[in-house]
Structure 1
Amino acid sequence: MNPKKQFILSLFIAVTSSLTWGQSSIEHENLSSKSRFLVTEFGAVGDGETMNTEAIQSAIDAAVEAGGGTVVLPEGVFASGSIFLKDGVGLHLEKGAVLQGSQDIEDYPKLNTRIEGHFEPWRMALVNAQHVTQLRITGEGVLDGNGEPFWAAFWQRREEDPNCTNLEVERPRLMFIDQCQDVLIKGLSLKDSGFWNVHVYRSQDVTIEGLSIVSPNGTPPDRAPSSDGIDIDSCQRVTIRDCFITVGDDCIAIKGTKGPKALEDKSSPPVEDVLIENCTFGSGHGVVTLGSEATIVRNVVVRDCEVTGWNKLVRLKLRPDTPQTYENLLFENIKFEGGGGIFDVKPWTQFFDLKGEEPPHSMVRNVTVRNVTGWTGKWGELMGNPLDTVKNITVENLDMKIENEAITLGPVDGLKFRNVVVNGKKMDTY
């Protein structure tokens, strides 16, 4: 490697080992010092049957009129459709409080929204926030997506047409954070989302801390389809820490846009500076997945995490119709105690469309996996599309039991093994 490039890579790894994104950029004030707007004082009833959308929205609007404050759900089960937080208004769910999503899709307005890398009229989430600064969504309560009817409708459609797209059956997300700054989402339990759990789009200085995100992850129909835990879409400076995630799709997905003209899409700036630490991942398609929609993703650190279920550690989807750059990715201090595998880096051809253009060139570079122990099912796959470049992949200080020692390996420039022990045998190279 060019000495200058080697220095830059070494500097990245050294710096990211001590990063505290989120802590340095966000000072989270104590929300209890702000005015509290109890939803029951605006007519909400926590009986699990009364539809409280208007009452909760009235509390939000009253907080806006008062100059800001925190809307509070007390103990109880509060059924609701989409609610919309506004600038200066936070949401707090006290212990024992459940915000339960309606099972009627008409309770989620169809608006022009960001979904799967573009904008189209689609259903809004249970909790929505757009263009909010200092957004706070906190508490010990539960967001319950109540998603079973939406899953059943999707699997029925998939049975009718195995090639149906993910968006043919409308399903609500649990939370959609749209173009917000200085965001804290903390302490909540999320369950049974109809679609993605937490979707954060084009936002900066975001901290997601102490969440439990759970969706069924068995085989269809006993799996929540498209139930990504956290989707980081076109964002910068994001910290995810102390979370537990087990879902029927990707645990954390890093997203942007797609298509041969993706780099011209001004609505999808690069995803940069993502720190994921002290999290536990159960089952899922990937611990951290780049794609399905993504163009440029750089500076991602995953550290001090545990994998307890069937999952893939490094999952990079390389679309044959989209120019992509995935660079400076560090996975360190990982305890892996589940099936799945280490690498899932390969072409992703679902619903791709070159639109008459020539195939693009993509790049994966500067990926480090180090300090990993435990066991898993296989090394996995490490390859790109025919025109792609995969380079500077380093595995070091790994001591594991791996049931399938083979790697499905495409052209890789600079695959290095340092102090790698698999099934008791030292591997200096592959």
Structure 2
Amino acid sequence: MSLRLSQRHVAVITALGAMASAAHAASYNPTLPAEPQLPKETAVCKTLDAKLTQTGGRLPDAVDANPDNSQPDTLDIQGAIDKCPAGQAVRLRASGDANAFLSGPLLLKSGVTLWIDSGVTLFASRDPKDFDTGAGRCGTAGGDGKSCNPLIRLKNAVGSRIVGDGIIDGRGGSVLTSGPNAGKMTWWDVANLLEATGKKQNNPRLVHMIGGSDFKLYRVTLQNSASAHAVISGVDGFVAWGTKVLTPSLAYTVPNYACAAGTTPDPKVAATKPSTCFTPETAANTDGINPVESKNVTIAYSFISTGDDHIAIKAADAPASDIYVTHTAFMAGHGMSIGSETTKGVRNVRVDDVSFDGLEDPQSNGIRIKTYDSVGGPVSNVVFSNICMRNMKQPMIFTPYYSSGKHTAAPNINDILLQNIHVLSSPKFGAGKLTFRGYQYGSITNPLTMTLDNVVFDSSNFLTAAGKKNGPTQPDNATLTLGPGPVTIPFASSSTFKIVDKRAGSSAPRNCDVAFPKFPSTNSPI
């Protein structure tokens, strides 16, 4: 129903104070499933031995400088998958010094596991025509941005797996070998054309599952995707356990992302030659794991450092619900996000026992719900708990004004709980910037309703909306309940929002002494 229609039917809330009595703390307490397991040796239907060799985390460009050699292992891998019975695995393993496979798009069928051994990397082709859907735009910017197939695709699959201690590498920083940008741009240079030209990138994802159920990623590393690393669309039952997402790896950057001037993309200018060094900011649109219109999702014991959202929960055409993110470390990235598409509703989400290290990056975000009134809808019963953050520009963002909307759908963010959250002071950003906003347009008012309990900032030097350190930007169209634990954000009630103060005494902030692990990979720049 459009907003204009709903104005005739929805009771309009005009007094924010009336929401206080109705608001209550969110409560969603899912159970962690059993840890997945690697297949038994007896469950391997086919073992493929590597024939190529990578060094320094990179496949030499000479291997496929000729586009005719862009995907030498595709037929062998796909043939093994096609012949493998459900319940068994195709295993990729090293052979002597050979430790790499090079492939174009693969279709993983129901019940089959793709097992990538430790020390083995499955590299994606850098030839856009291998991934093109038929429109001829893959590897360019333009059209709807949907002109590339992913490296690994699943369609209505049931019980499929991608496992092992190996790596799947999208080669996002490698120079393209066909099409109008051949020899001129890398995949990530193409991604940066969005800001320079306003045109959408056509780059392949690493893993995309559409429909189906019971899909697992276990212990595998996804890195250097040309676009999003894993998108799970319309799936009932997904587990990512021990999964590592890293972009860019050291193959395409330098320690601490200290790229020399002139070697990285300039997002405001279309590239005229391939960039040679990348930061998370310039490896654009490389989301980590996106559960889209899916339910019964668990992401646990994982590490994510990337160039866009760490995780983005979306619900454009169907609801998303029952999502549990736990025991996970986030490094570079744009946040543990809900949105921006929330049209059909997001509910029952718990983010618990996680850490964020923003690396003093000006793009760093922590927890956020972002939507707007072209794609907005209800977001409710969401818990963010037991969280440590440091070096963050924007630790908390809750906004129904993420982009300019067309006023056709009214966002409604309510029943949110922030509990046991400790934000350490950033040398660069102090306490960082906070955004707490409800929605208001015309006669429609959907206040943000939220409880904050034991939410402690070590610094009182907050960033304002203008980015200056002068106290936090105050909430708008919101009812915030504080307590019973301490809340050190200096809110003050006004005519556009209401504070319900239930703080009672003091309690210790969450202990963050050992909360920030290193990324567990020798390929990591951080």
| Band the TM-score falls in, shorter-chain normalisation | 0.7 to 0.9
TM-score under structure 2 normalisation? 0.68
What is the RMSD of the two structures over their aligned residues, measured on CA atoms? 3.0
CA 1:256–1:3: 2 relative to 1, 3 Å: closer
Q: 1:105 aligns with which of 114, 123, 128?
A: 128
For residue 129 of structure 1, what is the aligned residue in structure 2? 154
Pairwise CA distance, 1:245 = 0.6
TM-score under structure 1 normalisation? 0.82
Cα distance in 1 for partners of 2:33, 2:134 equals 31
Task: Render the CA deviation track for 1:349-407: whole Å, top value 9, x for unaligned.
Answer: 54x563xxx54322111111111124153251111342351333111112321331413
For residue 189 of structure 1, what is the aligned residue in structure 2? 221
CA 1:348–1:21: 2 relative to 1, 3 Å: farther
Please tell me whether residue 393 in structure 1 is matched to residue 450 in structure 2.
yes
Cα distance in 1 for partners of 2:228, 2:31 equals 26
Give the secondary-structure state (helix, strand or coil) at the position aligned to 1:419. coil
Q: 1:406 aligns with which of 468, 472, 480?
A: 472
For residue 45 of structure 2, what is the aligned residue in structure 1? 36
- State the AA in 1 paired with 2:161: R
Pairwise CA distance, 1:2 = 8.6
Q: % of aligned pairs identical?
A: 23
Q: 1:320 aligns with which of 373, 398, 403?
A: 373
Instruction: Check whether the contact 2:439–2:447 (CA below 8 A) recurs between aligned residues.
Output: no
Instruction: Check whether the contact 1:82–1:128 (CA below 8 A) recurs between aligned residues.
Output: yes
CA 1:156–1:83: 2 relative to 1, 3 Å: same
Instruction: Check whether the contact 2:437–2:448 (CA below 8 A) recurs between aligned residues.
Output: no
- State the AA in 1 paired with 2:226: G
Higher relative CO (Cα under 8 Å, sequence separation at least 6) belongs to: 2
Instruction: Check whether the contact 2:241–2:301 (CA below 8 A) recurs between aligned residues.
Output: yes
Pairwise CA distance, 1:251 = 0.4
CA 1:158–1:120: 2 relative to 1, 3 Å: closer
Instruction: Check whether the contact 2:292–2:313 (CA below 8 A) recurs between aligned residues.
Output: yes
Give the secondary-structure state (helix, strand or coil) at the position aligned to 2:188. helix
For residue 260 of structure 1, what is the aligned residue in structure 2? none
Instruction: Check whether the contact 2:472–2:490 (CA below 8 A) recurs between aligned residues.
Output: no
Q: 2:76 aligns with which of 49, 55, 59?
A: 55
Cα distance in 2 for partners of 1:88, 1:304 equals 32
Task: Render the CA deviation track for 1:333-352: whole Å, top value 9, x for unaligned.
Answer: 111122123321224454x5
Please tell me whether residue 284 in structure 1 is matched to residue 333 in structure 2.
yes
Cα distance in 1 for partners of 2:134, 2:112 equals 22
- State the AA in 2 paired with 1:224: A
For residue 312 of structure 2, what is the aligned residue in structure 1? 253
Q: 1:92 aligns with which of 115, 119, 131?
A: 115
Task: Render the CA deviation track for 1:238-285: whole Å, top value 9, x for unaligned.
Answer: 00001111111110001122xxxxxxxxxx321001000000011211
Instruction: Check whether the contact 2:113–2:161 (CA below 8 A) recurs between aligned residues.
Output: yes
- State the AA in 1 paired with 2:130: D
How does 1:7-46 map onto structure 2 within 5 Å?
A: 9=24, 13=27, 16-17=28-29, 19-23=30-34, 30-40=39-49, 45-46=51-52
For residue 158 of structure 1, what is the aligned residue in structure 2? 195
CA 1:300–1:157: 2 relative to 1, 3 Å: closer
Pairwise CA distance, 1:418 = 3.6
Cα distance in 2 for partners of 1:240, 1:60 equals 26
Cα distance in 2 for partners of 1:410, 1:428 equals 15
Instruction: Check whether the contact 2:412–2:439 (CA below 8 A) recurs between aligned residues.
Output: no
For residue 352 of structure 2, what is the aligned residue in structure 1? 303
Q: 1:274 aligns with which of 323, 332, 337?
A: 323
Q: 1:382 aligns with which of 426, 433, 436?
A: 436
- State the AA in 2 paired with 1:384: G
Pairwise CA distance, 1:120 = 8.3
Q: 2:298 aligns with which of 217, 236, 239?
A: 239
Cα distance in 1 for partners of 2:154, 2:76 equals 17
- State the AA in 1 paired with 2:419: R
Pairwise CA distance, 1:27 = 7.5
Return the index of the structure with the highest Cα Rg: 2
Cα distance in 2 for partners of 1:384, 1:415 equals 14
Cα distance in 2 for partners of 1:411, 1:359 equals 19
For residue 82 of structure 1, what is the aligned residue in structure 2? 105
Instruction: Check whether the contact 1:318–1:346 (CA below 8 A) recurs between aligned residues.
Output: yes
Cα distance in 1 for partners of 2:479, 2:405 equals 28
CA 1:32–1:327: 2 relative to 1, 3 Å: farther
Instruction: Check whether the contact 1:22–1:237 (CA below 8 A) recurs between aligned residues.
Output: no
Cα distance in 2 for partners of 1:399, 1:345 equals 18
Instruction: Check whether the contact 1:123–1:170 (CA below 8 A) recurs between aligned residues.
Output: yes
Q: 2:92 aligns with which of 38, 49, 73?
A: 73
Instruction: Check whether the contact 1:31–1:70 (CA below 8 A) recurs between aligned residues.
Output: no
Cα distance in 1 for partners of 2:490, 2:147 equals 52
For residue 261 of structure 1, what is the aligned residue in structure 2? none
Instruction: Check whether the contact 1:128–1:177 (CA below 8 A) recurs between aligned residues.
Output: yes
For residue 236 of structure 2, what is the aligned residue in structure 1? 204
Cα distance in 2 for partners of 1:365, 1:423 equals 20
Q: 2:165 aligns with which of 140, 144, 154?
A: 140
Q: Which has the higher strand share?
A: 1
For residue 226 of structure 1, what is the aligned residue in structure 2? 285
Give the secondary-structure state (helix, strand or coil) at the position aligned to 2:160. strand
Instruction: Check whether the contact 1:21–1:237 (CA below 8 A) recurs between aligned residues.
Output: no
Instruction: Check whether the contact 1:22–1:205 (CA below 8 A) recurs between aligned residues.
Output: no
Instruction: Check whether the contact 1:21–1:238 (CA below 8 A) recurs between aligned residues.
Output: no
For residue 413 of structure 2, what is the aligned residue in structure 1? 364
CA 1:362–1:121: 2 relative to 1, 3 Å: closer
